Structure 1
Amino acid sequence: MSPAESSIENLAEHARETHVVVIGGGISGLVAALECAKVGMRVTLLEASEELGGAIRSRTLDGVEIPVGADGYATAGGHVRALVDELDLTDLVRPEAPLEAWVAGVPGGPAPLPAETVLGIPANPWDPSVRRIIGWRGVWRAYLDRLRPPLTIGQQNNLDKLVRRRMGDLVVDRLVAPLTVGRHGLLPDDVDVEIAAPGLGTALTRTGSLGGGVAQLRGSRPGGPTIETLEGGLVPLVQALARRLGDYGADVRTGSRVEAIAPGWRVLLEDEELDAEIVVVAASGAEAHRLLAPHVDVVAPEAPATWDVVSLVVDGQPPARAVYAVPGSGPVSTVSVVSARWPWLAARLGAGRAVIRATLVSAPADDGAAIAEAADAASLALGIESLAVRDARIDRLPTAPPRSARGQLDAAARVRAAVVGRTGLGVVGAWVSGSGLAQVIPDAVDEAERLRRSALFG
């Protein structure tokens, strides 16, 4: 055996002797586990609940399996698609059929969101569709944006303060806030402009107005689909990851809650202890904080956040819309016709049925009352007299802030810096990477690469 062959054999043996314990079976944990397993490391994945996937899940309603959690991914960066291709799921890729965006909770009833906007900020306040939502008073106030001096690049990254200063309260309250709350669960005051809309500050400075910056930014955006999914939703991705881990001999366990992590590293379960060279914490934010707090000083307790999402199977074909409500105007933040967004789901339902999803601002404790409240609010938002509900359910889904949340990147960087200081310890998940598969997957790949490189090469 040559020296090179001997070195490779020693490296392979080292990998086989390295035990990796991944705590959490959402997408981040599954991806991190796969990255370690495919180089020969011995992997144990522990999921506290009875199913893998985290916020990705599906349930049977009216005889049809439908996604009730995360159901699509951004194509930006190509990271999710690369994983899809690696798992031989390319034939299942399906593009989104974008829904028409509307705003509810405005005078005169729901109205179409103006087409020429970024984060709800209008390029042209004189557009009749803008005037329909903010009225003449709002239009004239927004027009002052053209008369104000431009900002210096980077001077104001707070979305709320930027838009209120330049275009006024009505633009923020009736156009911007419905989108930031409905899509990300964030008030405009919590959104970092330069992360949510990269280049907008520069475009504002270049054009001299916020509206001009919006127009320029929209003109520079590439075309093509930006959201995809798989036939059957994202559950096939979870299933494929679990199968691939099985192919590599990984030990994947559900119903296995970790009580604590001891230095060394030792993972403590209720009736078992696992020694490991590498521990990857891939749990939700609150659970990760509980496990990491004894080992890294910067981790602080975090209240768990959830979205109360009601899925409705109804008779008929409601309009293909996603309706975003003005905060405080009603019991829901978003209503969307999911079956119109995903043609594969419409085909499975057949003619005469549709799936509507409504996100409640604060759900009643009684599930029946919550479903009834969501159905009534959805009919109003979609402009339908009443909905004939065939089947329904409510899911309380874990959430994490997007990268565009103010302070998110800095907080995540502090956690990562502290974790890097503890050899063999890693952390992944939406609470550090930002929400969305396009953020979660490459972050999990990078963290797994850091850990396995350190373990194998020092």
Structure 2
Amino acid sequence: MSKEQRNLRAGDSSETTDAAKPRRDIANEAAAHALRLLEKVRHASEARLAKTDTDGDGQQNAAPHAVVIGGGIAGLVAARELRQTGHEVTVLEATGNFGGCVRSTEVAGLRIDAGAESFAVRGGVVASYLDELDLGEQIAATSGQPAWLIQGEDQEILAHPMPATAMLGIPGNVRTDEVRAIIGRPATVRAAADLITPMSKKWATEKLSIAEVVRARMGQAVLDQLVAPVVNGVYSTDPAKISIDAAAPGLRQAMQETGSLARAVSKLQASAPAGSRVAGLNGGMHTMVQALVAQLEEAGVALVRNCAATALSHDPQAAAPYAVRTLGQELHADRVVLAVPAQPALELLNPLFAAEQQLDSDGDANAIALAILVIDKPELDDAPRGSGVLVSKQAPLAAKALTHSTAKWPWLADESGPGTHVIRLSFGRIGEHENLVESGDDSALIDQAIKDASKILGVQLHRDDVLGSTVSRFSDMVPLQGEAATARRTALQHNLSDFEGLDVVGAWIAGTGLARVIAQARSAVAISAR
């Protein structure tokens, strides 16, 4: 599609909106469709139960029914596993779209990831799963462009390339010009003490956060000016709240083996040069959701949109021990998988538990917003800030990170064409209230994104340069597993041991990242139906 065609398409959007059906009619049609599908599922479930009840030999020959509550990545992965092990499966999704944080949007005629856009290559979990979905050949490498860091105070902005050998901002070589430019010479000398300071044996087993490790080994400046911007930008939280084992598996062991944090980083990064630690999919990560949905539909899984579960009950003596209430209907199931965030999951689970076993959901503020801009600006063809930028908290900017998507993904650059650029800016941090994010004012957020992008990229941007824009919001983000999250997960697993066939999956249990979510969902339901 040419730039002129995209501009025309974007300009016609108001006419499309005017001609569309009223919102209430659309909502009513969606609810009616969900009810019709639920009726079919309920009748099929009742027929299975009747067949089981009348079976003279006492054997259950009908395929067991599994209900998956939540149609994000964890729910879809769990549904696929259950279907492959012989279950009849129903997926209930509260919104009108599947995929959760792996979502897409159309801006100025381009289909763009509006959530997760990449996955960690380490461990091969996601790549292997994509192979199973016949998407292995669509795995896309990044352009290899470096990441940058923005520092500053008052109105002064300083931009530096990130150290090429860094992991989570932790430098593998502290004696480089890149590191000295960011933290200064005195702080570099302090960081280099890591190379000669003995490694305490107690570090082999005690609980450690990223902040504790970096501060002790390399000093406060490395933590504040290198590590914190990366962790805040990638995980939307403070490095003091994230376990070193969750954030960097294998780093603790490498520290013990090498006697140094820097040497441990170098060891782990030796086989992962810059630009190769993450990958995506040609066409965007949302194509993974499309493939999952298509395979589930082909396999006969009932995928019900706009259908939130409102109650869950358990009768161990019943032929189908679980009952899920939704839209005035009750679905009976042999197995239930909860694949929703902590708050709605615990609202369904706590009534099943004794009073002393009930769990609190995480009450931290977690509103995160992603502003997406499609810009006509040939000056950005040279990618002045590489594939993207992480922002120090002290810098005079509201955005915590910027991704220059057309500089990062060659397929998107080819699709958008010369002079047209896709920029994504993220706002908000877990545990912090930010009015710009929580107000819900998309126009104000886009205005701020344009201002921040101008400062970050060093290229003046105006509203007239913007071909299209949108805001994607998230209210259920979770940090990597910290001590409190681990304790809650342990308590939940203990409670669930009394309920055969009831499982909980998703990021609030598994931790952040597609690899963790996919692996945990598959493991949780890995029991044959036969």
Same fold (TM > 0.5) = yes
Counterpart check, 1:198 vs 2:249: yes
How far the C-alpha of 1:349 sits from its partner, in A, is 0.7
Identify if the C-alpha distance between structure 1 residues 397 and 33 changes in structure 2 by more than 3 Å, giving closer, same or farther. same
The 8 Å contact of residues 16 and 40 in structure 1, kept in 2 or not, is answered as no
> In 1, distance between residues paired with 2:523 and 2:162?
38
In 2, Cα distance between equivalents of 1:404 and 1:279? 24
Q: Which residue, 351, 360, 363 being the options, matches 1:294?
A: 351
- Counterpart CA distance in 1 for 2:183 and 2:345 is 43
- Kept in 2: contact 1:32–1:445 (CA 8 A): yes
- Counterpart in the other structure of 1:170: 221
Alpha-carbon spacing, 1:143–1:92, altered in 2? closer, same or farther (3 Å): closer
Question: Does 2:288 align with 1:237?
Answer: yes
Counterpart of 2:387 (choices 321, 329, 334) is: 321
The one-letter amino acid of 2:390's match is: Y
CA distance in structure 1 between the partners assigned to 2:214 and 2:258 by the alignment: 16
Which residue is 2:341 aligned to?
Answer: 284
Matched-pair contact (CA < 8 Å) for 1:156–1:162: no
User: Partner residue of 1:352?
Assistant: 419
Distance, in Å, in 2 between the alignment partners of 1:149 and 1:61 is: 54
Is the contact between residue 289 and residue 302 of structure 1 (CA under 8 Å) also seen in structure 2?
no
| 2:114 aligned partner | 68
Q: Secondary structure at the match of 1:178?
A: helix
Asked if 1 retains the 8 angstrom alpha-carbon contact of 2:255 and 2:263, the reply is yes
Residue type of the alignment partner of 2:116: A
Show the counterpart of 2:460: 385
Corresponding position of 1:105: 151
Q: CA RMSD in A?
A: 2.6
Pick from 360, 375, 385 the counterpart of residue 450 of structure 2. 375
Partner in structure 2 of residue 29 of structure 1 = 75
Distance in 2 (alpha carbons) for counterparts of 1:165 and 1:91: 44
Alignment of 1:122-271 (within 5 A): 122-152=171-201, 153-155=204-206, 157-219=208-270, 225-264=276-315, 265-271=322-328
Shift >6 Å, 4+ stretches: none
**Structure 2: gaps (5+ residues):** 1-55, 316-321, 429-433
Q: 1:444 to 1:129 in 2, by over 3 A?
A: same
Instruction: Read off the aligned partner of 1:274 and give its amino acid letter.
Output: L
Aligned to 1:44: 90
Q: Which residue of 2 aligns with 1:311?
A: 372
Residue 224 (structure 1) shift: 9.1
1:268-290 Cα distance to aligned partner (Å, 9 max, x none): 11321111111111112221121
CA positional deviation for 1:64: 1.2
* Residues 1:412 and 2:473 aligned together: no
Distance apart, 1:87 and its partner CA: 2.7
| Aligned counterparts of 1:95 and 1:220: Cα–Cα separation in 2 | 15
Take 1:376 and 1:35, find their aligned partners in 2: how far apart are those partners?
46
Change (3 A) 1:246 1:430: same
Per-residue deviation, 1:158: 2.0
Q: Is the 8 A contact 2:138 2:281 kept in 1?
A: yes
Relative to 1, partners in 2 of residues 1:215 and 1:228: Cα closer, same or farther, differing over 3 Å? closer
**Corresponding letter in the other structure for 1:191:** I
TM-aligned CA deviation for residue 300 of structure 1: 1.6
SS at match of 2:351: coil
Q: Secondary structure at the match of 1:279?
A: strand
Deviation at 1:138, TM superposition (A): 1.6
Amino acid at match of 1:64: L
The residue type paired with residue 104 of structure 2 is S
Correspondence list, 1:9-24, <5 A: 14=60, 16-24=62-70
Q: CA deviation at 1:398?
A: 4.3
Deviations 1:244-302 (A, max 9, x none): 22222221110101111012311111321111111111112221121112224253222
Q: Go from structure 1 to structure 2 and tell me whether the alpha carbon gap of 1:212 and 1:442 turns closer, same or farther (over 3 Å shift).
A: closer
Question: Matched residues in 2 for 1:91 and 1:307: separation?
Answer: 32
Stretch moving more, 202-211 or 342-351: 202-211
- Specify which of 105, 109, 117 is matched with residue 59 of structure 1: 105
Of the three residues 467, 471, 475, the one matched with 1:394 is 471
For 2:402 and 2:249, locate their aligned partners in 1 and report how far apart those are by CA, in whole Å.
27
Contact between 1:62 and 1:390, CA under 8 Å: does it hold in 2? yes
Q: What is the match of residue 427 of structure 1?
A: 504
Q: 2:83 and 2:241 mapped to 1: Cα distance?
A: 38
